[in-house]
Structures are given as structure tokens and as C-alpha cells.
Amino acid sequence: MNPENLFKMANQIGAFFEAMPDREQAVADIAAHLRRTWEPRMREQILACLGTADEARLKPVVRDALQRLARGT
């Protein structure tokens, strides 16, 4: 999938969940949403951006959720 689309979709999901008052719950919910609804190739592709310059294109709450997803928690 086009990386631009993945960043856009991930940030849209983040925008929805970052309105939650509990940031840690928002991070957990974003990670759970990506685990449940994104196919493995999509998750692998966006997780590959962690630790690269592309990581800066993600909302902080999305970046934290991806780090959580990468840890498997």
C-alpha cells in the first residue's frame, strides 16, 4: 500500500482517539484498532517507519501506539 495513505489513515485514527481524556487509553485503543483492523502487511509497513525520519509524520499519539504495537503490548 502507498505509504502516504498509511500515514494519512493512521493520523486520522489518531485524531479520533486523541480526543479521549485518558491519553494512555487512547494509545492502547489505537494500537488495538490497528491490530484488529489493519492487515499484517499494512502494520509491518507502517511499523517500519519507527526510528526513521518518516516517524515525524505521525501524530505523537499514533507514534506511541505504534511503539506499543511493536512491543506486542
Mean pLDDT over 46-57 rounds to 95
As for how many domains the chain has, the answer is 1
Backbone angles phi, psi at 61, to 5 degrees: -65, -35
On the CB side of 69, CA atoms within 13 Å amount to: 28
12 or 72: which leads in pLDDT? 12
Is the overall model pTM greater than 0.85, yes or no? yes
Domain region containing 65: 3-71
Query: Does position 69 have pLDDT exceeding 90, yes or no?
Result: yes
User: What pLDDT, in 10s, does the model give residues 1-46?
Assistant: 898 999 999 999 999 999 999 999 999 999 999 999 999 999 999 9
Q: Residue 73: what pLDDT?
A: 67
Is 14 in contact with 46 (CB distance < 8 Å)? no
**How many residues in total does the chain contain?**
73
CB of 13 closer than 8 Å to CB of 62: yes
